[in-house]
Amino acid sequence: MTFDLLFEDNGKETLRGSEKVTTTEELAEWNYGQYEGLLTGEIRALRREHGLDTERPWDIWRDGCEDGESVYVLDSRDNIDITTGPHNSLVVLGS
């Protein structure tokens, strides 16, 4: 969980007890499906084996993840907004 990664052990219980921390699946990490734990090159090789990406290489923002979430599914979460940022980059915002 992101909370465990962000805060040191000695402050976690204090924060949890302060009612300033809320846990929600709406801000859960992207579901990578079959690609969980794989590097980009490994994902692209797997997709080629599956007959995908014959004309252009895989891009998570465009193509999503097999058995996982697409950018559109991620954007449909109530607390997530995906928008275009500088230089046509995609920006993921949590509210």
For 58-89, what is each residue's pLDDT tens digit? 988 889 899 998 877 776 766 555 555 555 55
Number of compact structural domains in the chain: 1
For 7-39, what is each residue's pLDDT tens digit? 677 677 787 777 776 666 665 677 899 999 999
d(CA 55, CA 12): 48
SS (H, E, C) 51-92: CCCCCCCCCHHHHCCCCCCCHHHHHCCCCEEEEECHHHCEEE
Q: Where in the sequence is the domain holding 35, given as residue range(s)?
A: 2-94
pTM above 0.75, yes or no: no
d(CA 82, CA 90): 7
Q: What is the pLDDT of residue 49?
A: 95
Q: What is the pLDDT of residue 83?
A: 55
d(CA 24, CA 53): 34
